[in-house]
Structure 1
């Protein structure tokens, strides 16, 4: 999470959406950076509003605006699936090395997912207490250039974006039946994607 106090802006780091690369480019321009521990780096809208907003904002001043990047739901889940198949965690309860992508998505849809599928939900990350969208500026992962342009304009500085935290290559195939089930059982994820112009066709 990065705070640009003078620009009245907070970049929330939704996991697996390219925000690590954004943070690397933006870090020299940030007034405050929370990079660790991961639970604080990946501060949700609700956590920011409940725990941090009063710390960063002063009475009588304009509220800091929140921005975030989201990813197409199947692509987002596949990135988590590939990331958790890396050799460093092989044999642990977080590893997906021995499960199929269908099994990973099936587990993620459970009310209480097992550890390897416990990765949260993008829709909850960016939602306010009442379930409404809690960010002021929302961008697509596959159109990061738009987020960069917005930030360059807001911060009045040019940015050069690299690649960071890339998930290892691994074949990912989701069956048509499981994808249809994903649309049925997690509609809020696709509703969020549609807000940034994403295609909802399975």
Structure 2
């Protein structure tokens, strides 16, 4: 999470959406940052609104707008599946090494999720407890240039991004019946994605 006081803006870091690269480019311009540990870095919109915003906004007498980037849900899950298959965590409960993508998605849809599939949901990250989106400015990962343009305009700075935290590339597919179940049971995530259509 990065906060830009003069620009009245907070960048919320949705995992697996290119935010590490954004943070690296933006950190020199930020007035406050939460970068580690990861569970604190990825401040949800709800946590921002309920816990952190009152401190910054009440002290400063201003409302800070929020922005975030989200990714197409299947692609987002593929990225998580690849990331958790990396050799450094092989053998751990969170590792997906040797676990097929269908099994990963089925685990993600389970309640409770097995540890290897416990990665949260983008729709919940950007919403309040009732499911209402509370992020002011949402951008698609696949059109990150629009988010960068927004930030450059808002901050009055030219940004240079480099790829960071990229998951190892492996080709995975999803069985049609699993994808149908995913689209049904994770409808909020797909609806959120569709709402950002250009």
Give me the TM-score of the superposition, normalised by structure 1. 0.95
Distance 1:196 1:85 in 2: 30
- Give 1:58 deviation, angstroms: 2.8
Aligned residue in 2 for 1:55: 55
Give me the TM-score of the superposition, normalised by structure 2. 0.97
Distance 2:117 2:60 in 1: 43
Q: Secondary structure at the match of 1:43?
A: coil
Higher mean Cα deviation, 3-12 or 122-131? Answer: 122-131
Distance 1:5 1:112 in 2: 39
C-alpha RMSD of the superposition: 1.1
Distance 1:33 1:148 in 2: 18
Listed one character per residue, the Cα deviations across residues 151-200 of structure 1 (whole Å, up to 9, x for unaligned) are 000000100111000001112111111111101111001011011118xx
- Give 1:130 deviation, angstroms: 2.7
* Residues 127 and 169 (structure 1), Cα distance of their counterparts in 2 relative to 1, 3 Å cut: same
Pairs within 5 Å for 1:25-44: 25-44=25-44
- Give 1:29 deviation, angstroms: 0.3
Q: Secondary structure at the match of 1:68?
A: strand
Distance 1:125 1:40 in 2: 13
- Give 1:123 deviation, angstroms: 0.2
Aligned residue in 2 for 1:151: 151
- Give 1:129 deviation, angstroms: 2.9
- Give 1:60 deviation, angstroms: 7.3
Q: Which runs of 5+ in 1 are unaligned?
A: none
Distance 1:172 1:4 in 2: 38
Distance 1:129 1:4 in 2: 26
- Give 1:146 deviation, angstroms: 0.3
Query: Does 2:39 match 1:24?
Result: no
Distance 1:150 1:81 in 2: 30
Aligned residue in 2 for 1:7: 7
What is the number of residues matched between the two proteins?
198
Listed one character per residue, the Cα deviations across residues 78-105 of structure 1 (whole Å, up to 9, x for unaligned) are 0000000000000111100111000000
* Residues 32 and 59 (structure 1), Cα distance of their counterparts in 2 relative to 1, 3 Å cut: closer
Aligned residue in 2 for 1:98: 98
Q: Secondary structure at the match of 2:3?
A: strand
Aligned residue in 1 for 2:137: 137
Distance 2:113 2:19 in 1: 25
